[in-house]
């Protein structure tokens, strides 16, 4: 998917790349494919964003093994399943995979990012944020269930997280930006069977970007000198784009931040 193509391009640029993946068999296959096309080895490590224990274990291993971290790319994401599911941590699975897991991981790696500054965080979001309807009083997503809307709300969370994190990181030498990769047919919707997602995927088959094209804005935010001092913004097609007001609302961003701290039980790093 987009993550593999992002890793491939960064490896091609001689970066040390860590592939953080839930499925290690797929990670090894991806690493082998990247080596064949770039001649560069990438490191595979286990990470399941739907498990806070896994996130903490991964972060501790990175901190122990790496002297610096120049770029953290929060790429992983999933569509909502047809019926509501919870993780073993007790949260709606899409919300944890797309927001809470990244929130916790970023917090745990912030000290390393600060020591490595200037450094960057890239949050892979979606234009789906425009359809998000976040209610911070119902983060269990239990009031009603509509898979596509739920996914879009987690993408709204990505942008709100970017806004609040950027505010808190001012003066640290660490920047954070969010991007829409474009309409890309990837494996993100593999678990979703609802008719809206099926129809959307048929449109992607016909008109969407390929995964290489979909990785371009992520890579741009990771390496381009053009964005070295830019933070808290939303990008699409390698340029700044418009983010809807309800995805950049600072009051809602702060409220989501505070609720996320409680849910992850992480010590605030900024």
CA distance 227 to 225: 5
In a domain, 151, yes or no: yes
In a domain, 257, yes or no: yes
In a domain, 19, yes or no: no
Q: What is the CATH number of the domain that holds 105?
A: 3.40.50.720
Q: What is the pLDDT of residue 265?
A: 96
Residue-wise pLDDT tens digits, 96-107: 999 999 999 999
Axis-axis angle for helices 2-12, 24-38 (nearest 10): 40
- Confidence band (pLDDT; 50, 70, 90) for 205? low
The boundaries of the domain holding residue 63 are 52-264
- Mean residue pLDDT across the chain: 91
In a domain, 188, yes or no: yes
Count other Cβ atoms within 10 Å, centred on residue 44.
20
- Confidence band (pLDDT; 50, 70, 90) for 70? very high
Q: What contacts 178, CB < 8 A, 6 or more positions away?
A: 122, 123, 124, 125, 158, 159, 162, 233, 234, 235, 243
In a domain, 47, yes or no: no
In a domain, 160, yes or no: yes
Q: Which of 151, 183, 207, 234 is catalytic?
A: 151
Q: Judging by beta carbons within 10 Å of its beta carbon (0-12, 13-18, 19+), is residue 77 exposed, middle or buried?
A: buried
Domain count, the chain: 1
Count other Cβ atoms within 10 Å, centred on residue 234.
23
Structure tokens at 222: 């990771």
Q: Is 183 a catalytic residue?
A: no
Q: What is the pLDDT of residue 214?
A: 83
Q: What is the pLDDT of residue 195?
A: 61
Residue-wise pLDDT tens digits, 234-269: 999 999 999 999 999 999 999 999 999 999 999 887
In a domain, 193, yes or no: yes
In a domain, 25, yes or no: no
Q: Is the model more confident about 224 or about 138?
A: 224
């Amino acid at each position: 998917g987009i993550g593999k193509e992002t890793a491939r391009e960064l490896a091609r640029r001689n970066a040390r790349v860590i592939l953080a993946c839930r499925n290690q068999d797929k990670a090894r296959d991806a690493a082998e494919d990247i080596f064949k096309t770039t001649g560069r080895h990438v490191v595979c490590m286990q990470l399941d964003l739907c498990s806070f224990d896994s996130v903490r274990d991964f972060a501790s291993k990175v901190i122990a093994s790496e002297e610096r971290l120049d770029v953290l790319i929060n790429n992983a994401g999933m569509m909502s399943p047809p019926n509501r599911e919870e993780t073993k941590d007790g949260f709606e699975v899409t919300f944890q995979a797309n927001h809470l897991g990244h929130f916790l991981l970023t917090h745990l790696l912030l000290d390393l990012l600060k020591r490595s500054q200037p450094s960057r965080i890239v949050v892979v979001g979606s234009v789906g944020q425009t359809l998000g309807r976040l209610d911070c009083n119902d983060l269990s997503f239990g009031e009603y269930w509509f898979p596509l809307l739920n996914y879009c709300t987690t993408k709204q969370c990505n942008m709100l997280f970017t806004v609040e994190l950027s505010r808190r990181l001012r003066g640290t030498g660490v920047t954070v930006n969010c991007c829409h990769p474009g309409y890309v047919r990837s494996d993100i919707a593999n678990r979703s069977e609802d008719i809206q997602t099926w129809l959307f995927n048929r449109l992607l088959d016909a008109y969407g970007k390929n995964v290489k094209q979909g990785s371009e804005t992520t890579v741009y935010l990771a390496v381009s000198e053009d964005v070295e001092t830019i933070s808290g913004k939303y990008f699409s097609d390698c340029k700044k784009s418009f983010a809807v007001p309800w995805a950049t609302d600072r009051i809602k961003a702060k409220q989501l931040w505070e609720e996320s701290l409680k849910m992850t039980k992480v010590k605030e790093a900024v």
